[in-house]
Structure 1
Amino acid sequence: MSNQSVTAGVGLAGVMAHCGGSLAGAVELLAGAIASAPAAPEPYAALAELWTDRRSELKENLEEDGSLSAVLAQAYLLFLDGDMDNAVMALGSVTGARPDVAWGAAPWFGDARFLGVVSAEALAEACLRTLDYGHDLDTEEMRESFAPWFHALDVVSERNPVPESLAAMARLPRACGRYELSFALCDRADAVDRVMWTAVARATTWRVMGNLVQAAAALERALLLDSANWSLYLDLADVRAEQGDFTAAVSLVERGLEFEPHEVSLRAAAAAYRTRLSGASDDLKALIALVPGLANATYRNLLIDCACAGPKLPRRLVAKARRLREN
């Protein structure tokens, strides 16, 4: 949208808000203007004016409206009220729903008043919200769109280096293919304190990059920091399976089962990796029985494929397992 169109949209919103029209409609128009030109200051100025003139009515209207337009407006109004944590989390929700719009280009998002106050915990939560819908962010267009977020991560992680929060922040640049920034956040976290979550963040980034040796090493460090965490044993077992070391994979899931014997993902992985290793029909039958309890379809199919590649398995049993892959 051109500057002229933004101005026209803002003007129409003003007419709707002040001449007996719909306040909700005015907010929607302003949100549309922001979506078309996130860096343009005029829509924000109009929102600020509405906040000054009709605060109680606008607040009630926004609280009753869960639309993207309402949440976007709330993000800016929370900033105006000095509630930087809730402001960034609201913007994270909007960005997760529509990452194709460079919402982070909003003037307030790069404002020193915001970057100097927002907590690492809130920014980390906002980063997670940007990933809620599973959109593909690993493109040049997305990396450019998220540049203001990367700047915020750099500033806030330096000012308020909470290791667990930095580990969570690292997920956003990783999703965007900015692996060096993901590792930089982990380095900054480790300089404060070495925690399990940072090691896991490193492992995940290495795994996405295809470096299974480094991923396994990072998970081993994570286990040194939290040796009773069953999910770490499963993660490392999965990496060993990717490397073709099914003996190690079986051993690791069995260790995980010592801590959480009823966890279905551990039990399914144990059955799958034992099947791949030995070709035992009973293990494949166990996997078939456990598969319906696996919520993650991608992981379910991965285990089925792995197990069905086991030696000398009955063809009918393999076919039965593969049919579960399609459901």
Structure 2
Amino acid sequence: MSGADGVADPLLSADGEVSLARLALGDGDLTHAARHAARALTTDPTLPAAYALVVELARRADGGPDLFAPAGPTTVGTVVARAHALAATGDPAAALDLLALAQRHEPAGAWAAVPWLADAALPARLPPDHWFRLVGVLIGAVDEPADDGYRAAFAPWLAAVRGAVDAYPGQGRLAWAASILARRLGHHADAVTLAELAERREPSEQAAIALGYAYRAQGRYDDAERAWLRALHHAPDNLAVYSDMAEMLAEAGRLDDGIDWAERALATDPTHDCAAVVRSALRYRRDADVDHLVGLADRLRTVPGDVHEARHADQALATESAGRPWLGYVPAGTEAVLSVLRQVLADPDAGAHIDLTVSAPEPPSALLACARALPGLAVTIGDVPSPDPRHTVPEVLDVAPVRAVFGRVWGYHGRTAHPVPAPAGPDSVAAVTGLVHRWRHLPAAYDEAVRLAAVPLPDLLGMLVHPPEPPTADPGVWPDWIRLVQAWACLGIAHHRVDEPWPRSVRRATLVDLAYGPEDWVSEAALLALVATAWMEPDVRRDVAELVAWRLVAAGRAAQTRAVTILGSLAALALATPDLDPRIRDLAADLATREAP
């Protein structure tokens, strides 16, 4: 059924199913009545008329819970209807088991918003072991932190579990399990109360661990530390607690103490994957040495993606990469023309035609971004400083161990840059733009870019200087959009003919040409692709480290006599490069600090 606007109304659909069920019931067709009642619950599990109909069908002499027995693949509504039927006929244990399975299948569904689950007498009708198993099923359905929809859907469950905790005052493990569920649902104060109760009732390793987590969720780090020390008193060899302690102390600002706990775990068991992941992440946070994160990437490459170690390493990489230029996002350009662009776009009185004079050539991509954002912009370029940014690195830096650049995407007529390759075809444009987004971390970006392996190389090069339209009409997005397109196009080049040995490969030669070509945003994007390749292919790391180092040295030398707008970004790329010479890393750190916006 549809509303006035033609869009299906779930409530009308549920009411309609109840009406059809009533008609079937009037004809004596209980099977069809049960089917429509289950469909109504699927649409709206809180509809009183649907619930009442299920109860009526269950209690009829010619009906019963088997009217809702699944026959092969079934819907969640049928499972929920059977649960209600079982509850109505005196089998709350089986009813709760089914309802919990439905909740786990669709955690945001309001499956538990029914009167029988809120019955104050229900908790005592099931043994505590059964409640404990149910809580385990529910915990597995909730990630932390849960969103508001989950909290609402699980509210009846949490109330029932609290009732069970009260009904069995001697059960410590039921209280700490309830604490875990409450914490995951965002009820931190309740989680602390329940875990404290568990420790009073029945001191145990699990109760202390649950209490430590509850304190941590409240930011009570000292209390959490003491709780976890009690847990280790019960079980000194629980190295998972060591890893949790390490993360928590780092979260509390005690980074060295956290690293110490991770190292203590590894001293006991060098193969403990959680401790190894935590130590790498915390060492990076302390030392800013990207090789610690590269170690996590190596774990991702060598273990199956569905195991805990891989998921932990992936999450640690994402966490440590967030907010880091090139590791987690493409940094914005810093050119003077971009500042002018922002000022013009913010001025409602700016005219359609704008004349702009820049004192020296700026990266052609930056000028392109301004031209796309402001079609009426006319740019006059002043003197060309030395070393000439229009030249390639081998032309201006005679000590770099790089052969001449053979392929350029920017050529020059005097001081004006023009694209060399032709625009990409529509299929190639669609392939690249389909990937243009921020990434979780470099290994994730590299892996996603494998979808561009079949895009012809000329098209990937064309995308660097003929960027497609952005997905929004806001002209202010052009600079960041172009930088993202260039980054993904170069990551695509990194997957071109991957069967070729790296030293003589087309992908290496092309990326080196781009990185060492005229000074531009393309240089940054090409270096990014080289760096990402080094993260994923250990055999190329020394070569890439040298390429990045010499490109940074060239930019640093040029900056002694003129502005190099991409210098800070190149420094950030160097800091993201595996196996970089420590002297170059120190230089990059100094340049990144000095060039920070």
Q: Which TM-score bucket, shorter chain as reference?
A: 0.7 to 0.9
Equivalent residue number for residue 165 of structure 1: 174
User: In the alignment, does 2:311 pair up with 1:295?
Assistant: yes
Secondary structure of the residue that 1:244 maps to in structure 2? coil
Residue 251 in 1 paired to residue 271 in 2? Answer: no
Alignment of 1:1-327 (within 5 A): 9-16=17-24, 18-19=28-29, 22=32, 25-32=35-42, 35-37=45-47, 42-49=52-59, 52-55=61-64, 58=67, 61-62=69-70, 64-80=72-88, 82-112=90-120, 114-130=122-138, 132=141, 134=143, 137-139=146-148, 146-161=154-169, 162-277=171-286, 283=292, 285-292=294-301, 293=303, 294-296=310-312, 297-302=314-319, 316=574, 318-319=576-577
Deviation of 1:30 after TM superposition, in Å, equals 4.6
Say which SS state the counterpart of residue 282 (structure 2) adopts. Answer: helix
Contact in 2 for aligned 1:240/1:248 (Cα 8 Å): yes
Q: Which runs of 5+ in 2 are unaligned?
A: 1-8, 304-309, 328-570, 580-597
SS of the equivalent of 2:236 reads coil
Q: Identity percentage over the alignment?
A: 22
Q: 1:203 to 1:127 in 2, by over 3 A?
A: same
* Residue in 2 that maps onto 1:325: none
Give the drift of 1:234: 0.3
Q: 8 Å contact 1:276–1:306 — kept in the other structure?
A: no
Give CA deviations for 1:260-284 in whole Å, capped at 9, x if unaligned: 4323222222233344445667655
Q: Retained in 2: the 8 A contact 1:39–1:107?
A: no
CA distances 1:150-181 after superposition (whole Å, capped 9, x unpaired): 33122210222432232222233223332222
Residues 287-313 of structure 1: per-residue CA shift (max 9 Å, x gap): 3422444223323423566999xxxx9
Aligned residues: 314
- Is the 1:167–1:185 Cα contact (8 Å) retained in structure 2? yes
Distance 2:143 2:115 in 1: 26
Q: What is the CA-CA distance between 1:108 and the residue it aligns to?
A: 1.5
For residues 209 and 47 of structure 1, the distance between their equivalents in structure 2, rounded to whole angstroms, comes to 47
Q: CA deviation at 1:76?
A: 2.0
Q: Which amino acid is the alignment partner of residue 70 of structure 1?
A: T
Q: CA RMSD in A?
A: 3.9
What secondary structure sits across from 2:237 in the alignment?
coil
SS in 2 for 1:170: helix
Contact 1:28 1:70 in 2 (8 A): yes
Deviates more, 1:101-110 or 1:224-233: 101-110
8 Å CA contact 1:237, 1:252 repeated in 2: yes
Instruction: State the alpha-carbon separation in 2 of the partners of residues 10 and 143 from structure 1.
Output: 28
Deviations 1:48-78 (A, max 9, x none): 146x42458536x425344211221232233
Cα offset, 1:28, TM superposition: 2.3
Higher mean Cα deviation, 128-137 or 181-190? 128-137
User: Matched residues in 2 for 1:38 and 1:261: separation?
Assistant: 58
In the TM superposition, residue 82 of structure 1 has moved relative to its aligned partner by 4.2
**Contact residue 37 and residue 50 of structure 2 kept, 8 A:** no
Cα deviation per residue 1:109-134 (whole Å; 9 max; x = unaligned)? 12355322123343344344445164
Q: Could you tell me the TM-score, scaled by structure 1's length? A: 0.76
1:221 & 1:214 partners in 2: Cα distance?
11
TM-score where L is the length of structure 2: 0.45
Structure with bigger gyration radius: 2
Question: Cα distance 1:55–1:144, how it changes in 2: closer, same or farther (>3 A)?
Answer: closer
The SS at the match of 1:28 is helix
Which AA in structure 2 matches 1:181? D
Q: Distance in 1 between matches of 2:30 and 2:53?
A: 20
